[in-house]
Structure 1
Amino acid sequence: MRQTQTSRTQQMDSDTVHPRFGYVGTRDDTPPVEPDHTVSLEIRPRENAPIPAFYFEPAGLAVDVGDTVRFNLATPHHNVNAYHPAFGYTQRVPDGAPPYSSPILGAGEYWLYTFETEGVHNLMCAPHELFGMVGSVVVGSPTGPGANPVGEAPAPHEESRPPEFTAGLVLSDPALAPQTIAEQGSVSWSDLAPESKRPLLRPVEEG
């Protein structure tokens, strides 16, 4: 029992970047490590569309093994979640990567995560995934299950779900090809084709 209690204390230690839970901070605090890269979680209105664009900026990012990324919430009610089979998704993270995720966060907060597993990491904001709020972090080399086209990554269970609706379109855009991200260093949301961002869901009509 003592070892279990110690393990839980280490997991939730607020002064470390945990391999599963990362580190949650606010704009006024001092992070435990200096981030190497920054990604913003954004919402932007669409012209002539009732549903806004939900996106990561940049949508694609290349980092080195051991780099820490700071995910800033420019707008509220987002999280950062791996396409990991432990969460019921087809595997779009490297073998050996833990099932990592942030909590749902508010505007002005941030989440740190240190990428220790080489390969392609596809990420989502779980509340807004189907609207296309997904991204890709290439850690070291553009390899692993996440380098496969959408729909061709390993599915450990029949019920495992691949990226769907606009999420699938975004991750299939040529601009987010892992090799392209690795070569360019980063890929902006604006680099994706408009047809890859089109909303495939509609709001419920009021009766």
Structure 2
Amino acid sequence: MNGLSRRRFLVGVGAVGVSGLAGCSGVSGSGSDSGSDDYDVGMTAVAFTPAEITVSVGEEVVWRNTSSRGHTVTAYEDSIPEEAEYFASGDYENEQTARTEFRNGVNGIIESGSSYSHTFEVPGTYEYVCIPHEQSGMIGTVVVEE
């Protein structure tokens, strides 16, 4: 299942679940989060949600900043497969550059409501971090399967 199909499937399942519960809360159902189908990982105040996601080789993962704070998506260079392409918001070539650019001017930030995406071509486990919230434990994992 490709990324877009997976998101559409999840939205469809969510819509069925919500409509099945519409009469239970005493609130009639108008209004929904129409933006919920356009990302795979949300960024809250100090967490990636979900913290771990599994995708197939060739799939794109989309991160969306769903909080009011600025965030980064920055791969731990030593925690991605050796043959894999490095990834970081700001499109930096390595972790050191991403960290330096953040420190020197808050570069690589994903503002509230904005997104970042990366396509994973090599199977394996990829760990990444939000630089400004690393001390708060804002770390995520992408597992890429054949």
Q: Higher helix share goes to which structure?
A: 2
Are positions 1:68 and 2:60 aligned together?
Answer: yes
What residue number does 1:94 align with?
A: 81
- Tell me by how many angstroms 1:105 deviates: 1.3
After superposition, where does 1:99-110 map in structure 2 within 5 Å?
99-102=86-89, 103-110=108-115
Taking the aligned partners of 1:97 and 1:139, their CA distance within structure 2 comes to 11
Inter-partner Cα distance in structure 2 for 1:124 and 1:116: 20
Deviation string for 1:103-148 (max 9, x for gaps)? Answer: 211101001111111100001111111210001110016xxxxxxx
> Could you tell me how far 1:99 is from its partner in structure 2?
2.4
Task: Say whether 1:136 aligns with 2:141.
Answer: yes
Aligned mate of 1:80, from 73, 80, 83: 73
TM-fit CA distance, 1:94:
0.4
Question: Which residue is 2:96 aligned to?
Answer: none
Equivalent residue runs for 1:1-207 within 5 Å: 38-43=40-45, 54-75=46-67, 76-84=69-77, 91-102=78-89, 103-140=108-145
Pick 1 or 2: higher relative contact order, CA cutoff 8 A, min separation 6. 2
The one-letter amino acid paired with 1:101 is: A
What is the aligned-residue RMSD (CA, Å)?
Answer: 1.7
Name the SS of the counterpart of 1:128 in structure 2. Answer: helix
Q: Which runs of 5+ in 2 are unaligned?
A: 1-36, 90-107
Q: Deviations over 1:29-73 (max 9, x none)?
A: xxxxx97x6100001xxxxxxxxxx10000011100011111000
Structure 1 Cα separation of the partners of residues 86 and 120 of structure 2: 12
Aligned-partner Cα distance in 2 for 1:137–1:112: 12
Shift of 1:98: 2.4
Identity of aligned residues (%): 34
List gaps (5 residues or longer) in structure 1.
1-33, 44-53, 85-90, 142-207
Residue 50 of structure 1 is matched in structure 2 by: none
Regions of 4+ moved over 6 Å: none
* Separation in structure 2 between the aligned mates of residue 97 and residue 128 of structure 1, nearest angstrom: 25
> How many positions carry a matched residue from both structures?
91
